[in-house]
Chains A and B, each alone.
Chain A
Amino acid sequence: MTCRHFLELLDRMDNIDIQEEMTAHAAFCPGCAAELSAVMAGLRLYRLPDVCCSANLVPKIMAMLPLVPAPKRLVSMRNWVLAGLLIMGSVVLVPLMSDFRVLKETFGPAFTIPVSMAFGLIITIYLGIFVISHIDEFGRRLKAYEAVKSGKIA
């Protein structure tokens, strides 16, 4: 890499980690290393918080939150889990009921096929709605997990 190319890359660089080839060049070129550290120092110092955060801002906003509409998921996770447990409970318990056994004896073993299909359909619809309504949430959680994994934040 030439010094000219290095400076070109330095000026074009996004706010990301320095490219390996730039670090390698700076390691043996004192002039470019000085340019790099000058720009980095300039940016670091420019980015120092220069606005003194008002001590009142956070309490002021927090005091206003109860007065504005609270953000809410359409259905809370707790209710989703309860609904899921209810459906699963029905699937397990309904075949054990005496009325079900009477129906089975009346209509024969083939009676269980449409009932199983109905249960399967209910579970599929439940899971489908759950996935569709939580896909953004899953995305958010995945990003949070990736941030933790990359060590950026706990």
Chain B
Amino acid sequence: MIQDDSALADEKLVSRVLDGDREAFSVLIKRYQARMLRLGYGFYKNQDEAEDFAQDVFLKAYTGLAGFKGKSSFSTWLTKIAYNTGINGKKKSGRYEALEAEPADSRNLGPEELSIRKDSLESLRKAMAALPEKYAVCLDLFFAAGMKFEDISEVTGFPVNTIKSHVFRAKRDLRKALEETIL
């Protein structure tokens, strides 16, 4: 049952959960746990608190699922809950930072790829550090989560043009950093 569910669209899974199929929610957790943990690391910077954060976010999403109106995608809706949870977190450890870690599965990466990744990470961490604190998370949502400008604006409430200009500068710096590595 769950193996089949893993290929279903988010909205279908939400309908199933609302119909009382609790197991369908586990597919959504598996699908978004990496993003939630990453955001948790960004806010709290340690594994235990990141996991508590992810758990908190998923439970909030579950209890409030009837409030998901489908106006934005489920991933945007969930990320908005995570963002608000992170921003309002009382034990937040300083400013939001991109995680500095090896990929969970780096077995298939060659030295050049690891070097590109390291340069990308350094460049984006610098870009985040240069921004006012509240905008740092926008870069992670764009570069790490792969979200669109409109969706980031929906999550954070910042104007699209503000996000665009921060991403523009960060991407220009990233391109220049990679020019030295690759080209």
User: Which residues of A are interface residues toward B (Cβ below 8 A)?
Assistant: 7, 10-16, 34-35, 37-39, 41-43, 45-54, 57-58, 60-62, 64-66, 68-73, 76-77, 136-137, 139-141, 143-144, 147-148, 152-154
Contact = CB atoms under 8 A, between A and B. Distances in A.
Given A34-B183, A140-B15, A61 B8 contact: no
Best-buried of B7, B117, B146, B179 by chain A (most CB within 10 Å)? B117
A72 B15 contact: no
B158 interface: no
A68 B62 contact: yes
B26 A153 contact: no
A152 to B, nearest CB: 8
A14 B33 contact: no
Contact of B11 (A53, A69, A144): A144
8 contacts: A10-B171, A41-B116, A46-B117, A47-B143, A48-B106, A51-B41, A64-B59, A141-B12
Contact of B33 (A10, A57, A153): A57
Interface string B104-117: 11100100010011
Given A42-B174, A137-B15, A148 B182 contact: no
A57 B28 CA distance: 12
B66 A49 contact: no
B165 to A, nearest CB: 9
A143 B9 contact: yes
Given A50-B101, A71-B17, A136-B70, A7 B25 contact: no
Given A11-B175, A12-B168, A58 B19 contact: no
Interface in B79-132: 99, 101-106, 109, 113, 116-117, 119-121, 124
Nearest to B149: A14
Contact of B183 (A38, A76, A140, A141): A38
Interface of B: 7-12, 14-15, 17-20, 22-23, 25-26, 29-30, 33-34, 37-38, 41, 47, 50-51, 54-55, 58-59, 62-66, 68-71, 73, 99, 101-106, 109, 113, 116-117, 119-121, 124, 142-144, 146-149, 164, 168, 171-172, 174-175, 178-179, 181-183
Contacts of A58: 26, 29-30, 33
Nearest to A43: B143
B144 to A, nearest CB: 6
- Closest 10 CB pairs between A and B? A71-B65, A140-B70, A144-B11, A154-B7, A45-B117, A48-B103, A42-B120, A144-B9, A46-B120, A140-B11
Contact of B148 (A14, A43, A52, A71): A14
A43 B145 CA distance: 10
Given A12-B168, A61-B59, A70-B22, A45 B69 contact: no
